[in-house]
């Protein structure tokens, strides 16, 4: 029996399909969900989602959100989710640097600091997934 997985953001459905397993980042650590998993509702934290079907693995960078597992399906509702193959490392590095600068500027602004922290967490997760994807493909990294 396969596991139905959906990754949904406010803009679009990023992934939808039948898979063998999915690994997700939660506040308690990474969990792997297989068919017939016990029902769970949890938070998803910035990190990587790995979807496996046969010998194929797909990587996604995800920001904050929630997950619902009912034993036959997993629904991930996230603020953002990006396929690893679509991530551009140079653009992410720039966004990360911008977020770090914003974090320093907003040290005394509680709301601004929280927003900058969330942006930085998202960019760090995206960077990690992009590098992981590059290393799996065997693509050399060229510093500019």
Q: What is the pLDDT of residue 87?
A: 66
Q: What is the pLDDT of residue 141?
A: 43
Q: What is the pLDDT of residue 125?
A: 75
CATH code for the part of the protein at 3-84: 2.60.15.10
Domain ranges of the chain: 3-84, 88-137
- Specify the pTM: 0.72
Q: What is the pLDDT of residue 99?
A: 73
The per-residue pLDDT for range 51-79, each reduced to its tens digit, is 999 999 999 989 899 999 998 999 999 99
- Going from the C-alpha of 24 to that of each of 44, 48, 54, 108, the distances in angstroms are 7, 7, 18, 33
Rounded Cα gap, residues 92 and 123, in angstroms: 6
């Amino acid at each position: 029996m396969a596991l139905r997985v959906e990754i949904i953001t406010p803009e679009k459905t990023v992934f939808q399909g039948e898979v063998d397993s999915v690994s997700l980042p939660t506040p308690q650590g990474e969990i792997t969900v297989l068919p017939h998993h016990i029902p769970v509702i949890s938070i998803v934290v910035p990190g990587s989602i790995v979807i496996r079907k046969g010998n194929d693995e797909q990587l996604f960078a995800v920001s904050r959100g929630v997950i619902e597992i009912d034993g036959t399906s997993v629904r991930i509702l996230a603020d953002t989710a990006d396929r690893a193959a679509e991530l551009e490392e140079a653009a992410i590095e720039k966004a990360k640097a911008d977020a770090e600068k914003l974090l320093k500027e907003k040290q005394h602004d509680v709301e601004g600091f929280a927003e900058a922290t969330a942006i930085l967490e998202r960019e760090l997760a995206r960077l990690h997934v992009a590098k992981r994807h590059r290393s799996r493909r065997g693509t050399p990294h060229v510093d500019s």
